[in-house]
Structure 1
Amino acid sequence: MYVDAVMKYYTGTISVDGKPTTPVSGGNGSKGMAAAEKGMRFVNKTKYVFGGGRNPADIAAGRFDCSSFVRWAFEQVGVNLGPMTSVTTDTLKVQGQTINPKDMQPGDVIFFDTYKIDGHVAIYLGNNQFIGDQSSTGVAIASMAPGTYWSTVFNGRVKRF
């Protein structure tokens, strides 16, 4: 719990191997937005599968869960967020540069407290929208505008890769 509390305020960057790195995205034209654009090919064409996206057959069939979808999308633009077989929201939340939620930009990765703290992850698109793989919709664009479900579970964790 202490590490999670500290990481919410950490403004440095950490790579997959724990070494400092420089963020490669954030804002329009970023690697993050390019990753989101790659993910658009799956919008309304997939079914969410918890634990999916961790082997080539799942990916070819468009079977992802939220963290494997984010990992796959960033991989498409040359950003390695960890091994296909073991990426989770817990491995993603300790990578990248921590961004204050008031400073988040399209392409940043955002976290939600759903079935657990940081139980869901997605890519922010701007205008209170994100692309992610939700259990209720599969890969879709969803709203986190005030008053929506996603606004109530957004936990303020924002990462830039």
Structure 2
Amino acid sequence: MSHTAHIPSHRKPRRSASKLALRAGVAGGVLGTIAVAGAAGPANAEPVTETIEMPTLGSLDAGSGLASAVAASAEASQQEALDQSLQSQEDQALQKAAKDAKKAKAEADRKAEAERAEKARAKAEQERKDAAARASRDSARTQLTSTSNDSGTGSSTNDAPTQAPSGAAAAIVAFARAQVGDAYVTGGTGPNSWDCSGLVQAAYRQANIDLPRISYQQSSMGTSVSLSNLQPGDILYWGSRSGSYHVAIYVGGGKYVGAQNSATGVVERSLDWDMPSGAVRLF
């Protein structure tokens, strides 16, 4: 017999072959003792025991709380990053809107300045034309006065004897005088309101003569005649012949009929009241 036959074995049994018995007070957080009984070995072998500290419920709750806190922190960080991204996008949008608004205002100011400059230019051009027309009328008046004085009559066109129109001229003059007192309306062609060229066109229609609608087109027709050699029915114009801005009909006796403006309407006036620039004859 071996001299070691009665010596108890101190070898630890294999845990994989043992049956674990858990007796742990988890709810109270107490320590559990696991008794490991050897499945093999001598019958009289001394039991080997191990003491293992099991996690308590408190420690489990603490771990779960820590995980929740980590998750909440991560979510808060993600939300903060998202908020910062949105704020950055909003700031960029505001900056772009402000830039676009500034650019639009600058463009609007530029256009407004261009329009003011164009209006000023047009006004200056109109004033220049008006001054030229007045100078032309003054020159014609001077010429008429000089011609009258040279003839020894000592009278002006206003004092000329009334001429009796006949034929086409009679129809034109009669129609024009019949409209005296009617209203002046821009673009008016009758029967009770006229503008200057509309009245002249309608009067000449009585003599079966078709005229263009616009004043400068009417003054460009026929033959040019001097203001000292007018006949009833002649077309008087103000401005240049190819660029007149007003027309009327000479009715004899140094007078004309024309649709002047919205304040006066259709009137019969002396040439001296507003001396025309020239005249044309169509028959």
2:163 is equivalent to residue 37 of structure 1: no
CA drift of 1:139 comes to: 1.4
Amino acid in the other structure paired with 2:168: K
Matched ranges for 1:12-161 at <5 A: 28-44=165-181, 46-53=182-189, 59-60=190-191, 62-82=192-212, 87-113=213-239, 118-135=244-261, 136-145=263-272, 148=273, 150-151=274-275, 154-155=276-277, 157-161=278-282
Aligned residues: 116
Q: For 1:52, what is the secondary structure of its paired residue?
A: coil
Answer yes or no: is the 8 Å Cα contact 1:122–1:132 preserved in 2. Answer: yes
Answer yes or no: is the 8 Å Cα contact 1:32–1:123 preserved in 2. Answer: no
> After TM superposition, which residue ranges in structure 1, 4 or more long, deviate above 6 angstroms?
none
Separation of aligned partners in 2, 1:107 and 1:33:
8
Identity rate, percent: 27
CA drift of 1:121 comes to: 0.6
CA drift of 1:43 comes to: 1.2
Q: For 1:118, what is the secondary structure of its paired residue?
A: strand
Q: Gaps (5+ residues) in structure 2? A: 1-163
Answer yes or no: is the 8 Å Cα contact 2:211–2:218 preserved in 1. Answer: yes
CA drift of 1:52 comes to: 1.5
Task: Choose between structure 1 and 2 for higher RCO, CA contacts under 8 A separated by at least 6 residues.
Answer: 1
Answer yes or no: is the 8 Å Cα contact 1:123–1:132 preserved in 2. Answer: yes
Answer yes or no: is the 8 Å Cα contact 2:236–2:250 preserved in 1. Answer: yes
Q: For 1:95, what is the secondary structure of its paired residue?
A: coil
Separation of aligned partners in 2, 1:66 and 1:105:
19
Alpha-carbon RMSD across the aligned residues, in angstroms, is 2.0
Amino acid in the other structure paired with 1:70: V
Which structure's CA Rg is the greater one? 2
Separation of aligned partners in 1, 2:179 and 2:226:
29
After superposition, give the CA deviation of every residue in 1:16-38 in whole Å (9 maximum; x if it has no partner): xxxxxxxxxxx831423321201
Q: For 1:37, what is the secondary structure of its paired residue?
A: helix
CA drift of 1:40 comes to: 2.1
